[in-house]
């Protein structure tokens, strides 16, 4: 039976480019691949026909012979050393693997992946006092990391020797495993994808090309940082592999709890105890800030929970913007350890107080409670 024209089989013109040829084959082969059409002999025959056409037309020498002599170039020994589809030495899975190799992360016959790899980024958590986070500070840190071995210059091989091509993958970095019609390419288990192995390792780094060292670095923390913010030190991470670039170091800030202040964004909060008499009579109250003391004017009748705002005594945000405020929440303290005289005076004061006039919240609360119970049905 006469064979179909290879160009017609793939649905392309005689001047088709290599890229378009591959696209055409991929599109048609995916439709009639045996794994997608189990038990369909017609689909399998069509797939083999497509693969044969692509195997010939994708090879420049075989394509030239086919263009000149047609199918006779491979049936009668013509065309020099160009063999036919079944006698070319290329397996069915090799052809399919060439086209679909990118699906499995592997290259075809063009070589393995690059062994040059960028070094890993590192993270260092830096605990800061609130004052250092607000005003900025310069800190010295010690960071363990992998650096390039200065004895072998990162090659991993003993001075005077060099890594050799891996015999398992022939320097490709990948090995091919056949599963049915698919040729799956995987990372070489011996060289781990590098394509080379060290047979005479460096004594300093034991063939790794890198060694661990602890480096002391100076880190400038800008004013206004908060927990979770990061400072990047470019090129201070781990050394790359086989000459790859060095990674970065990320210094992550963790602001420790403060004994007085609590931070919420750009604002600071603090609780200030207020005596019973100062709350009742009013007066001045001295409160702390991160850069000194300020005085607050407390009006008479101040209640627990009252917030006093001190403008611009908070945090200047690291990314810009207006400075935050300091908010002081007062807590009225009930007198304890009273003397007999003090207790007598308080009792006398109590007799003179009118709850409706001097404790409006108390009266309002009890009225609400009375209404609540009146409305309940038992």
Segment 65-119, tens digit of pLDDT: 888 877 777 765 444 443 333 333 333 444 444 444 433 344 333 344 456 788 8
Q: Which band of pLDDT confidence, cut at 50, 70 and 90, is reported for residue 232?
A: very high
pLDDT tens for residues 125-164? 999 999 999 999 999 999 999 998 888 888 888 898 888 8
Q: Say what the pLDDT of residue 215 is.
A: 93
DSSP assignment letter at 316: -
Q: Say what the pLDDT of residue 112 is.
A: 42
Buried b (16+ CB within 10 A) or exposed e, 63-84: bebbeeeeeebbeeeebeebeb
Per CATH, domain 258-334 is 2.60.260.20: yes
pLDDT of 7 strictly over 50? yes
What backbone phi and psi angles, to 5 degrees, belong to 178?
-95, 130
Model confidence, pTM: 0.59
For 166, the token pair is: 């891996």
Q: How far apart are CA 333 and CA 303, in angstroms?
A: 10
pLDDT of 190 strictly over 90? no
Q: How far apart are CA 342 and CA 13, in angstroms?
A: 110
- The Cα diameter of the chain in Å comes to 129
Q: Say what the pLDDT of residue 95 is.
A: 40
Residue with tokens 């004061």: 349
CATH assignment of 122-255, among 3.40.50.150, 1.10.645.10, 2.10.230.10, 2.30.38.10: 2.10.230.10
Asked if 278 and 298 touch (Cβ cutoff 8 Å), the reply is yes
**CB contact set of 126 (below 8 Å; sequence gap of 6+):** 139, 141, 219, 221, 251, 252, 253, 254
Q: Say what the pLDDT of residue 344 is.
A: 93
Q: Which band of pLDDT confidence, cut at 50, 70 and 90, is reported for residue 122?
A: very high
Asked if 317 and 326 touch (Cβ cutoff 8 Å), the reply is no
pLDDT of 212 strictly over 80? yes
pLDDT of 38 strictly over 70? yes
pLDDT of 248 strictly over 50? yes
Asked if 139 and 221 touch (Cβ cutoff 8 Å), the reply is yes
Q: Say what the pLDDT of residue 82 is.
A: 38
What backbone phi and psi angles, to 5 degrees, belong to 212?
-85, 135
pLDDT tens for residues 254-298? 999 999 999 999 999 999 999 989 999 998 989 999 999 999 999
Q: Express as a percent the part of the chain with pLDDT over 90.
A: 40
pLDDT of 225 strictly over 90? yes
Q: Which band of pLDDT confidence, cut at 50, 70 and 90, is reported for residue 356?
A: low
Q: How far apart are CA 52 and CA 29, in angstroms?
A: 11
Question: Where do the domains of the chain lie?
Answer: 6-90, 122-255, 258-334, 339-378
Q: Say what the pLDDT of residue 90 is.
A: 36
Q: How far apart are CA 21 and CA 192, in angstroms?
A: 33
pLDDT tens for residues 286-310? 999 999 999 999 999 999 999 999 9
Q: Say what the pLDDT of residue 253 is.
A: 96
Asked if 214 and 143 touch (Cβ cutoff 8 Å), the reply is yes
Among 84, 87, 100, CA closest to 33: 100
Asked if 289 and 326 touch (Cβ cutoff 8 Å), the reply is yes
DSSP E strands in 222-291: the ranges are 230-233, 249-255, 262-264, 267-275, 283-289
Identify the three-state secondary structure at position 255. strand
Q: Averaged over 6-32, what is the pLDDT?
A: 87
Q: Say what the pLDDT of residue 66 is.
A: 82
Provide the mean pLDDT of the chain: 82
Identify the three-state secondary structure at position 211. strand
Per CATH, domain 6-90 is 1.10.287.110: yes
Q: How far apart are CA 103 and CA 194, in angstroms?
A: 20
Q: Say what the pLDDT of residue 297 is.
A: 94
Q: How far apart are CA 255 and CA 127, in angstroms?
A: 6
Q: How far apart are CA 255 and CA 101, in angstroms?
A: 50
Q: Say what the pLDDT of residue 26 is.
A: 85
pLDDT of 219 strictly over 90? yes
pLDDT of 337 strictly over 90? yes
Q: Say what the pLDDT of residue 207 is.
A: 84
Q: Say what the pLDDT of residue 104 is.
A: 38
Q: How far apart are CA 273 and CA 275, in angstroms?
A: 7
Q: Say what the pLDDT of residue 48 is.
A: 87
Q: Averaged over 180-189, what is the pLDDT?
A: 73
Among 193, 202, 197, 192, CA closest to 153: 202
């Amino acid at each position: 039976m006469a064979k179909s024209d290879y160009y017609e089989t793939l649905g392309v013109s005689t001047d088709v480019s290599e890229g378009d040829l591959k696209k055409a084959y991929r599109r048609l082969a995916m439709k009639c691949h045996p794994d997608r059409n189990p038990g369909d002999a017609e689909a399998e025959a069509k797939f083999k026909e497509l693969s044969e056409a692509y195997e010939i037309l994708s090879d420049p020498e075989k394509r030239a012979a086919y263009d000149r002599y047609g199918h006779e170039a491979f049936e009668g020994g013509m065309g020099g050393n160009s063999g036919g589809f079944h006698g070319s030495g290329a397996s069915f899975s090799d052809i399919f693997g060439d086209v679909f190799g990118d699906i499995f992360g592997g290259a075809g016959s063009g070589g393995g992946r690059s062994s040059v790899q960028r070094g890993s980024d590192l993270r260092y958590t830096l605990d800061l006092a609130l004052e250092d986070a607000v005003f900025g500070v310069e800190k010295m840190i010690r960071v363990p990391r992998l650096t390039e071995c200065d004895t072998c210059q990162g090659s991993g091989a003993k001075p005077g020797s060099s890594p050799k091509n891996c015999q398992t993958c022939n320097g490709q970095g990948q090995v091919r495993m056949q599963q049915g019609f698919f040729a799956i390419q995987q990372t070489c288990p011996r060289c781990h994808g590098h394509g080379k192995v060290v047979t005479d390792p460096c004594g300093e780094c034991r063939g790794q090309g890198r060694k661990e060292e602890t480096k002391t670095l100076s880190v400038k923390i800008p004013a206004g940082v908060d927990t979770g913010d990061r400072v990047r030190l470019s090129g201070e991470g781990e050394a790359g592999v086989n000459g790859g670039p060095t990674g970065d170091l990320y210094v992550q800030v963790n602001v420790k709890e403060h004994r007085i202040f609590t931070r919420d964004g750009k604002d600071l909060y603090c609780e200030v105890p207020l005596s019973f008499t100062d709350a009742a009579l009013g007066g001045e109250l001295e409160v702390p800030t991160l850069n000194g003391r300020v005085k607050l004017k407390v009006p008479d009748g101040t209640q627990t929970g009252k917030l006093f705002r001190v403008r611009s005594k908070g945090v200047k945000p690291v990314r810009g913007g207006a400075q935050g405020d300091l908010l002081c929440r007062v807590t009225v303290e009930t007198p304890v350890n009273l003397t007999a005289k003090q207790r007598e005076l308080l009792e006398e004061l109590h007799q003179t107080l009118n709850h409706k006039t001097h404790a409006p919240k108390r009266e309002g609360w009890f009225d609400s409670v009375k209404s609540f119970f009146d409305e309940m049905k038992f």
